[in-house]
Every structure is written in structure tokens, then in C-alpha cells.
Amino acid sequence: MFAELGHWYATTQCDPRVVDLYSRHYSAAKNRKGRADWLSAGVVGPGEKMILLTSDSRALFVWSKAMYRRDGQHGVECAVFRNESPLLSSDLIREAVVLALRRWPHQRLFTYVNARKVRSSNPGYCFKMAGWRVAGRSSTGLILLEYDPLRWSLMAQAAGL
């Protein structure tokens, strides 16, 4: 448990609670696997990973650092974020960022949002409220968001902060 942050604790990608939350995430449908597959193989592919679950098992955050990516992105990807809890998504994202940067210092963090699959007129809003910025689009039209601690640090230095 990451007591100093209060909400997240580490678990495994085959944890049944993780699988249950993931199965309701829009990206689960594209992977075309069933519950039994996720329980045995996990919800994310190969590479380093950090699987975070809230104590009430109503929010899930999955970080993944792949050795190779076909899309050319670098850094650590938020592969899954699902929040069914009453907690603010932006607060949970900020806490997850702190944990990721403790494990992978100075790494760029990124995620994709499918605007057609979220119920928001401002897709990625919770990430934006947590300090992320739009960095472009994927070849399939997904919104690319990033959090780059080195970039933010250099901007703060340039502004005299």
C-alpha cells in the first residue's frame, strides 16, 4: 500500500478485481479476449508494468513500459485508467503520476484517449486537469496526451519558478 498517497496500492494484472474493472474499460473490447484469458495472461502486454487499484477496488490504473512500440512513442504509457469511484479522476491520476515517476524517474508519461468511446465533450479532461497536455493524434485518430516531467521542469526554470 502506498499509504502516503492514500488511494492506490499495487497488485497484479491477473487479480480478479483488476480483470473485472478492465473488462468494463472501452479498450477491453478491442483486445477480443475473455475474462478467462485476462485472468491467466493479464490485462496488459509484455514489458515493465505497475498495476494500481484503489482500496475499494473501484478505480484501476495500469502503467506499462514496453521495450519496443510500433507507434514510435517513448516513455511509460498509461495503458488503462478506469474510475468507478466517487474520487476525482484528476486526483487519482496525479497520485498515479507520482508513483510512476518514483519508479521511472524523468520518464515521459503518455496515454491515448479514444474520443468516440468516452462520454465527454472534452476527451481526456481528467488528464488535462492533472497537468497533462495534448501532444497530437495517433494514425488511427486517438488523442495523444503526455506528461513530461523534464519539459515541465525546464519550463518552470525558464519562468523563474
DSSP 74-114: -SEEEEEEEE-SSS-HHHHHHHHHHHHHHHSTT--EEEEE-
Please tell me whether the overall predicted TM-score, pTM, comes out greater than 0.75 for this model.
yes
Q: Regarding predicted confidence, which is higher, 43 or 49?
A: 49
Question: How much is the average pLDDT of 97-107?
Answer: 93
CATH top-level class of 8-158: alpha beta
CA angle 33, 95, 142 (to 5 degrees): 45
Cell numbers 502486454 correspond to what residue? 45
Grid coordinates belonging to 95: 497520485
Q: What's the pLDDT at 89?
A: 95
Domain range list for the chain: 8-158
